[in-house]
Amino acid sequence: MSATKLPPFPVNQNIRLMCFDGGGILGYFTAIMLRQLCEKDSGFLGKQTVSAFAGTSIGSLISFLLAKEETPRDLIMSGELENIFHNSLLYSNRLNPIDGWLSFWGITAWSGQADMNAFLDAHFGDMKLGELNNRVLITTFSYGNSSGENQWFERIFRNFPSETHDYVGDSDWLVKDVAFGAVSPATLRPVQNWLSDGGMTAMSPDLSSLAQVIDSPLGNSAKVTMAVAKCLTRLEELLKLFANPPKDFSIANLMKGVNSSPPKLNNQHLEELHQANLVEKTDLVQIQELVAVMEQNVGKSGSDATRVQREFENELALIRALAKHRDFPAEKLTQLETAMTGLEQGLTRLVDLLKRLKTVSLDDLEATIQNLIPDLFHHATHSLKGNINDMARQVTELAGIQRLNRIEMFSLGVGQQTPGYFTENFNFGWLPFMTLPTNITQKCYAPPTFNLLYSPTTNDISYMASLFLPDDRYFRLNPQVVGFPVPSVIPATYMARFDFLKEYYLKSIRDQFNSGVKPEEIQAAVQWLTAHNWCEPLPHP
Catalytic residue among 115, 197, 206, 304: 197
3-class secondary-structure state, position 471: coil
Which residues are within 8 A (CB) of 234 and not within 5 positions of it... i.e. 6 or more apart?
A: 261, 265, 269, 311, 314, 315
The CA distances from residue 86 to 83, 240, 381, 530, in Å, are 5, 73, 68, 32
Q: Are strands 15-20 and 52-56 parallel, antiparallel or unpaired?
A: parallel
Cα gap 292→500, rounded to integer Å = 76
Cα gap 526→54, rounded to integer Å = 20
3-class secondary-structure state, position 20: strand
Q: Are strands 474-477 and 407-412 parallel, antiparallel or unpaired?
A: parallel
Buried b (16+ CB within 10 A) or exposed e, 10-47: ebeebbbbbbbbbbbbbbbbbbbbbbbbbebbebbbbb
Gyration radius from the chain CA atoms: 29
The CA distances from residue 313 to 128, 220, 398, in Å, are 39, 25, 22
Cα gap 318→340, rounded to integer Å = 9
Catalytic residue list contains 21: no
Catalytic residue list contains 126: no
Give yes or no for a contact between 189 and 177, defined as CB atoms under 8 angstroms apart.
no
3-class secondary-structure state, position 88: helix
Selection from 237, 242, 262 nearest residue 253 by Cα: 242
3-class secondary-structure state, position 482: strand
Catalytic residue among 21, 41, 51, 57: 57
245-249's contacts with Cβ under 8 Å and 24+ in sequence apart are 245/366, 245/369, 249/362, 249/365, 249/366
- Can the peptide bond before residue 485 be classed as cis, meaning omega within 30 degrees of 0? yes
Q: Please list the alpha-helical segments (H only) found in 20-148.
A: 27-40, 58-68, 72-77, 80-83, 97-103, 113-124
Residues across the chain? 541
Give yes or no for a contact between 108 and 440, defined as CB atoms under 8 angstroms apart.
no
Q: Are strands 153-158 and 52-56 parallel, antiparallel or unpaired?
A: unpaired
The helix/strand count (H/E) of the chain reads as 24, 7
Catalogue the active-site residues. Answer: 57, 197
